[in-house]
Amino acid sequence: MSKLYTFLKYFFIVFWAVFVVAPFLWALTTSFKDFQSVNGGVTYIPWVDFEPNLEGWKVLIKSPARGGVDIVEPYFNSLFVTCTASFISIVLGTLSAYALSRYTFKAGLVKNNDITFFFISQRIMPPIVLSIPFFLFLSSINLLDSLVGLILVYIVLLMPIAVWIMVDFFNKVPREIDETALIDGCNPYQAFLKVVLPNSISGLIVAGMFCIIFGWIDFFFAFILTFTEVQLLPVKIVALNSSVTPWWSLSASALVSVAPLIIVAFIVERYLSKGNLSGAIK
């Protein structure tokens, strides 16, 4: 019985691992192919099935004029927008979360939980509902197709995540530590900055990771709100997916674009093992 269970368990784990890895392996081999080895039937193993070449990788750094894909600028745009929006969301979200966790608010029927829910409910909003008014709104203040406009939109996407994670986190940080700081003569801001924040590093890291993930993987807003001036990475890569798709450069650029966040997987796992994450997300 338990032998069978162990066997099934490993079987399932290995099966799923193969499923997870399969598209990456396929992209990796495809990125070394040329026109012939993509269109002449399915091939898998370099040197055996086809002769690998680096064309798919080389076009990534060439200028568009010489037939390159030029993902360098979109790459930095994506990094810049994601990091800026995440940073602003974390700062504002952490302040609000601290207020919601430590103080009581009451305005008529609206209480703390309702304010928290208001923040989190912004995630329910389908992007499409916001995209049309944002399109007209940003074009009326001349921020369409600009980095600032995108950052504004991303703050709406990311702040709910920051608030959601940090409220739960602050609820677990004992109140006594801020009370002690206040008795020792700090004002509330000093107590927050010098005592509470240093004790919340792991919560901040988890919230930051989630903001960066959800900022980095967004496609829809970038797709609708930018055209030519500013291009983000996902939009640029999807634009390659035209009628005559150069599979090799597509695969190479896809791999380059998903690479940075795989580091995030390691960081998340580290916090998971230490048990710090369990309180932060629930």
In the block, tokens 């305005």 appear at 107
Q: Which is nearer to another protein, 20 or 65 (CB)?
A: 20
Q: Tell me which stretch binds another protein (CB under 8 A): 5-13, 48-56, 57-65, 66-74.
A: 5-13
Nearest Cα residue to 211 out of 164, 149, 278: 164
Token pair of 187 as six digits: 């004002």
User: Quick check: 208 and 90 in contact, CB under 8 A?
Assistant: yes
Among residues 79, 83, 177, 268, the one that binds another protein under rule CB under 8 A: 268
Conformational region of residue 218, where left means phi above 0, alpha means psi within -120 to 50, and beta covers everything else: beta
Closest separation in Å from C-beta 240 to another protein = 8
Strand partners, 46: 50
User: Please, which of residues 196-215 interact with another protein by CB under 8 A?
Assistant: 213
Closest separation in Å from C-beta 107 to another protein = 11
The answer to whether residue 282 forms part of the interface with another protein (CB under 8 A) is yes
The answer to whether residue 272 forms part of the interface with another protein (CB under 8 A) is yes
The answer to whether residue 192 forms part of the interface with another protein (CB under 8 A) is yes
User: Please, which of residues 76-135 interact with another protein by CB under 8 A?
Assistant: 92-93, 95-96, 98-100, 102-103, 105, 115, 119, 121-135
> What character string, x for contact with another protein (CB under 8 A) and - otherwise, covers 19-58?
xxxxx--xx--x-------xx-xx-x--------------
Token pair of 46 as six digits: 């370099």
Contacts of 127 (CB under 8 A, 6+ apart): 220, 221
Strand partners, 58: none
Q: Tell me which stretch binds another protein (CB under 8 A): 47-55, 63-71, 197-205, 254-262.
A: 254-262
Q: Which is nearer to another protein, 110 or 201 (CB)?
A: 110
Q: Tell me which stretch binds another protein (CB under 8 A): 53-61, 67-75, 197-205, 241-249.
A: 241-249
Nearest Cα residue to 231 out of 194, 257, 203, 199: 257
d(CA 97, CA 83): 20
Burial group, residue 103, by CB count within 10 angstroms (0-12, 13-18, 19+): exposed
Q: Which is nearer to another protein, 210 or 230 (CB)?
A: 210
